[in-house]
């Protein structure tokens, strides 16, 4: 009798219940094979999070892959905290974990199938194929200036600013510091004294990117001195946090704890938030640091020093506008208007967040002392000795 009742149950009901159970079981979280983040689905052949799925989809085409390169000997460790830093190593890990471009559906696979179609089709069908073809992605090769709004002089300026930062931005010093600290016993790593000296030397080296900046050197000695006194705190905070972002120093617990002792918990939290807000486009961040070096912004904190007026204020504003316009044109060229607006808005958020970190760090003596040290040394090199 029991068997008869079971047999009378519709198979559709059994299958639907089992499918619901299967779906629920699939909702159990796993770890992304690429970065270690939480993951639910298999994307392109590998269990991966939504971020790595979209990253693989956006970077799989040949043109995009050719623009990627690693600044750390092609051996970056990819995890949830640093996955946005090195696109080259992240993509290589996607392939190493088993992601397959053949499993991508949509515009890319359709585009490849259309390329492989025989050319003996009727004219009407050829016209229809052209109409249905998806709009091609703009090239990311910055040498293709004929499709950009940047002229030759602006491309040269962009190249010079980026080259100056790469040469004198302080990143090599930070990488050497990490290597030195990792060679020490665990108990001796990232002590407060070492961290304080690290910030003094790193931020001082970061200011030397203007030693070969023609726009800066063309100013009068008084204006150069005034700019150094008013902008070093901004370029140091923004540029210093950018180096921490590139080297992942914030992820070292002992480094973060020493930073709290030196600069206070609120300042370190703001710096960490700023690091998380940074755009993945390194070129854009480097341009923003150049803009800040010629900015006239200041935070509302009482300082026991008299303000000095600039002799040629209009010239400084002109340089600031020129660098800002260059950054905006670069964004338009590389990302289009909508994405450019979003990225530029995020940069403004980053600047405000850096401003908050400066105010909070000023509450303790260490940050003002470091800034004073950097200002005096930079002024001696770029003003007094010239």
pLDDT-based confidence at residue 5 (cuts at 50, 70, 90): very low
* Global pTM value: 0.59
8 A C-beta contact, residue 285 and residue 239: no
Domain ranges of the chain: 28-103, 148-384
Domain 148-384, CATH:
1.10.565.10
Judge if 28-103 and 148-384 fold alike in CATH terms. no
User: pLDDT-derived band of residue 324, with 50, 70 and 90 as boundaries?
Assistant: very high
Task: Write down the residue that tokens 């204006």 correspond to.
Answer: 223
User: How large a percentage of the chain has pLDDT more than 70?
Assistant: 76
Axis crossing angle, helix 171-182 with helix 192-207, rounded to the nearest 10: 160
Dump pLDDT digits (tens) for 125-146. 333 443 344 444 344 444 443 4
**pLDDT tens track for 7-24:** 444 444 444 444 444 444
Q: Which residue has the higher pLDDT, 249 or 385?
A: 249
The closest of 99, 77, 96 to 86, measured between CA atoms, is 77
Confidence of residue 213 (pLDDT cuts 50, 70, 90): confident
- State pLDDT tens for residues 181-203: 999 998 999 999 999 999 998 88
Superfamily holding 28-103: Erythroid Transcription Factor GATA-1, subunit A (3.30.50.10)
Distances in Å between the Cα of 237 and the Cα atoms of 102, 134, 248, 276 are 45, 43, 16, 14
Residues 354-384 have pLDDT tens digits of: 988 999 998 889 999 999 998 888 888 888 7
- Using CA atoms, how far apart are residues 49 and 42, in angstroms rounded to an integer? 9
């Amino acid at each position: 009798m029991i068997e008869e009742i079971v047999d009378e149950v519709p198979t559709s009901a059994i299958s639907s219940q089992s499918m619901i159970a299967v779906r629920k079981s699939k909702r159990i979280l796993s770890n992304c094979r690429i970065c270690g983040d939480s993951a639910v689905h298999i994307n392109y052949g590998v269990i991966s999070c939504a971020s790595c799925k979209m990253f693989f989809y956006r970077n799989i085409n040949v043109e995009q892959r050719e623009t990627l390169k690693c600044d750390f000997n092609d051996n970056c460790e990819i995890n949830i905290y640093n996955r946005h830093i090195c696109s080259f190593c992240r993509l290589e890990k996607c392939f190493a974990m088993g992601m397959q471009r053949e499993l991508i559906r949509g515009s890319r696979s359709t585009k490849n199938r259309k390329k492989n179609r025989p050319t003996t089709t009727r004219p009407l069908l050829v016209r229809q194929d052209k109409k249905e073809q998806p709009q091609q992605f703009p090239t990311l090769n910055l040498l293709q200036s004929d499709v950009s709004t940047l002229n030759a002089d602006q491309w040269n300026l962009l190249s010079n600013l980026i080259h100056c930062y790469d040469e004198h931005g302080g990143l090599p010093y930070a990488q050497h510091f990490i290597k030195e600290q990792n060679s020490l016993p665990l108990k001796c790593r990232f002590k407060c004294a070492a961290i304080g000296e690290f910030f003094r030397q790193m931020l001082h080296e970061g200011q030397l990117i203007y030693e070969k900046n023609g726009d800066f050197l063309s100013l009068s000695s008084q204006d150069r001195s005034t700019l150094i006194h008013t902008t070093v705190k901004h370029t140091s905070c923004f540029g210093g946090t950018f180096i921490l972002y590139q080297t992942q120093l914030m992820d070292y617990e002992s480094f973060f704890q020493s930073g709290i002792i030196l600069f206070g918990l609120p300042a370190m939290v703001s710096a960490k938030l700023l690091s998380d807000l940074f755009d993945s486009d390194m070129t854009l961040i480097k341009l923003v640091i150049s803009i800040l070096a010629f900015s006239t912004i200041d935070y509302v904190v009482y300082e026991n020093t008299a303000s000095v007026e600039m002799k040629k204020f209009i010239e400084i504003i002109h340089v600031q506008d020129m660098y800002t316009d260059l950054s905006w044109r670069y964004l338009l060229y590389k990302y289009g208007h909508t994405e450019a607006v979003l990225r530029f808005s995020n940069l403004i958020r980053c600047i405000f967040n850096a401003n908050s970190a400066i105010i909070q760090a000023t509450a303790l003596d260490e940050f003002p002392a470091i800034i004073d040290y950097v200002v005096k040394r930079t002024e001696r090199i770029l003003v007094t000795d010239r």
